[in-house]
């Protein structure tokens, strides 16, 4: 149980284009979803936290107009990287948590590797 | 905000030896203390966690100890195996306002 999927697993795009990444909880309803970015040999950096039906809370230094997050249902959150540039190339990972006895347990997606040419 | 430090950044051990990684945090409100294992190009996997009402938790070769007074918790791996080689992250959190900050990671090498 508690499986999280991401699509696509990898994407290559041209500079200036937008890319959408989907995060789905397959067998549970996620109270909260998180988006992380991980550069090579670095840690996971939290970008934003989103709850279904409400606006995402962005971390300091993360541009909300560049990284658009939509959390339309309890099983789907999307991250759109708008006007992508080479410096946005990274490994993007989502996670989901479940309300209940252990709301702090996070279930991670497999990640999406974005390469911007 | 939370300041999280992990030590060491790199750890190399011989197969069969023990490995210990320490995580220090600053937010006294933190009450959830997980450790994640991440293999190259893959998602982080929760390997063990502990909550603030417990001082130690063990699961086979893996254990976590917590010192809330000193604000640190440690990952202990005994009888290490080559497949334990990975990057390990601590990520202390607070269930109240829930937000997780990951440590910088510890790269563990287990030599056969």
Residue A54: asked if its preceding bond is cis (omega within 30°), the reply is: no
B101 CA: distance to closest CA in chain A (Å)? 7
Contact B21, B88 (CB under 8 A): yes
Contact A8, A25 (CB under 8 A): no
Report strand pairing: B106-111 vs B10-14. parallel
pLDDT tens sequence across B56-98:
999 999 999 999 999 999 999 999 999 999 999 999 987 765 6
CB contact under 8 A, A46 and B104: no
Residue of B100, B104, B105, B106 to mutate, testing the A interface (most A Cβ within 10 Å of its Cβ): B100
Kindly state whether A46 is in contact with chain B, defined as any CB-CB distance less than 8 angstroms: yes
Taking CB atoms and an 8 Å cutoff, what residues of chain B touch A97?
98
Residue B34 pLDDT: 94
CB contact under 8 A, A97 and B98: yes
pLDDT tens sequence across A52-97:
878 899 999 999 999 999 988 889 999 999 999 999 999 999 999 8
Burial status of residue B13 (CB atoms within 10 A of its CB: 0-12, 13-18, 19 or more): middle
Q: How confident is the model at residue B20 (pLDDT cuts 50, 70, 90)?
A: very high
Kindly state whether A74 is in contact with chain B, defined as any CB-CB distance less than 8 angstroms: no
Residue B97: asked if its preceding bond is cis (omega within 30°), the reply is: no
Taking CB atoms and an 8 Å cutoff, what residues of chain A touch B41?
91, 111, 113
Chain B: residue whose CA lies nearest to A10? B41
Residue A100 pLDDT: 64
Kindly state whether B46 is in contact with chain A, defined as any CB-CB distance less than 8 angstroms: yes
Q: How confident is the model at residue A9 (pLDDT cuts 50, 70, 90)?
A: very high
Kindly state whether B49 is in contact with chain A, defined as any CB-CB distance less than 8 angstroms: yes
If one counts every other C-beta atom within 10 angstroms of the C-beta of residue A49, the result is 21
Phi, psi of A108 (to 5 degrees): -95, 145
């Amino acid at each position: 149980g508690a499986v999280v999927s991401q699509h696509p697993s990898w994407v290559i795009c041209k500079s200036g284009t937008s890319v959408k990444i989907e995060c789905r909880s397959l067998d549970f309803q996620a109270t909260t979803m998180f988006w992380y970015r991980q550069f090579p040999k670095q840690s996971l950096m939290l970008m934003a936290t989103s709850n279904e039906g409400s606006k995402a809370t962005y971390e300091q230094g993360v541009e909300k107009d560049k990284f658009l997050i939509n959390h339309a249902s309890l099983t789907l959150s999307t991250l759109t990287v708008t006007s992508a540039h080479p410096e946005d190339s990274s490994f993007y990972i989502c996670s989901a948590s479940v309300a209940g006895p252990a709301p702090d347990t996070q279930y991670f997606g497999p990640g999406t590797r974005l390469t911007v040419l | 905000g939370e300041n999280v430090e992990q030590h060491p950044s790199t750890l190399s051990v011989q197969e069969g030896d023990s490995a210990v990684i320490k995580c220090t945090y600053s937010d006294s409100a933190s009450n959830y203390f997980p450790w994640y294992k991440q293999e190259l190009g893959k998602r982080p996997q929760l390997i063990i966690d502990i909550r603030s009402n417990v001082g130690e938790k063990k699961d086979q070769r893996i254990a976590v100890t917590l010192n809330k007074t000193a604000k640190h918790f440690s990952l202990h791996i005994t009888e290490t195996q080559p497949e334990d080689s990975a990057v390990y992250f601590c990520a202390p959190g607070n269930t109240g306002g829930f937000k997780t900050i990951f440590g910088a990671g510890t790269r563990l090498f287990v030599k056969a």
